[in-house]
Chain A
Amino acid sequence: DQQVKQNSPSLSVQEGRISILNCDYTNSMFDYFLWYKKYPAEGPTFLISISSIKDKNEDGRFTVFLNKSAKHLSLHIVPSQPGDSAVYFCAASKVNRDDKIIFGKGTRLHILP
């Protein structure tokens, strides 16, 4: 069963506009959420994270929002740049329990010129 779901396999956004990537999770025991970015033939690169005690975390152009009641999080990238074209993975962990990181299937983001 997929505990972390990214329902959009791909997303195209104009350069300079906002990219919004969505993620849903089913396990209410998750208490830490992460976003990773992956280029072809490379390992995932950590982008930004958020603890379940917060509802927003911002780092430069990247902001993650968490809605615990809806078991939903989103990653906002603004403004979108060509180098943002990659696959983005949402991930979740139970840091106070078994602590392994569970990944979604990813969303491929295309930034259009």
Chain B
Amino acid sequence: DTGVSQDPRHKITKRGQNVTFRCDPISEHNRLYWYRQTLGQGPEFLTYFQNEAQLEKSRLLSDRFSAERPKGSFSTLEIQRTEQGDSAMYLCASSFRPGPEYEAFFGQGTRLTVV
């Protein structure tokens, strides 16, 4: 499977715990995005990387959130001291820039439930 891979697919955690998600992009893609989707909403931009450099962080990304892409390949998104409002689908996408096409390809997502 050469698509975007996310792990885990589902995570249930208690409020106050830390969680970490992993995303493996399509191998030749240098751009990696993180989005969050809640019920009835479209994917909301959180942050993105060009290789290992984090280019932008949304104001949605509070201090409890941190994302890394240490070697320009896979990425991790960590949420510290989780809150019930963090419950959502966390989506990762990748693309190649610059390139003739500008679409990003998404993984299956990680469904986080904070209880």
Binding site for B on A (CB under 8 A): 4, 6, 9, 32, 34, 36, 41-46, 49, 89, 91, 93, 95, 98-106
Contact = CB atoms under 8 A, between A and B. Distances in A.
Interface of B: 4, 6, 31, 33, 35, 40-45, 48, 55-56, 91, 93, 97, 101-109, 111
Contact of A103 (B6, B44, B108): B44
12 contacts: A4-B42, A6-B42, A9-B40, A42-B108, A43-B106, A46-B104, A46-B106, A49-B103, A91-B42, A101-B33, A101-B104, A105-B42
A102 B44 CA distance: 7
A49 B55 CA distance: 24
Contacts of A95: 102
Contact of B109 (A32, A42, A103): A42
A90 B90 CA distance: 19
A2 to B, nearest CB: 9
A101 B101 CA distance: 13
Name which of A42, A44, A103 has the most chain B CB atoms within 10 A of its CB: A44
Name which of B42, B91, B103 has the most chain A CB atoms within 10 A of its CB: B42
A102 B45 contact: yes
Closest 5 CB pairs of A and B: A103-B42, A43-B106, A46-B103, A103-B43, A105-B42
A3 B109 CA distance: 24
A50 to B, nearest CB: 10
Nearest to A45: B106
B103 A100 contact: no
B53 to A, nearest CB: 13
A54 to B, nearest CB: 13
A99 B56 CA distance: 10
A99 B97 contact: yes
A105 B40 contact: yes
A6 B43 CA distance: 13
Contact of A105 (B31, B41, B105): B41
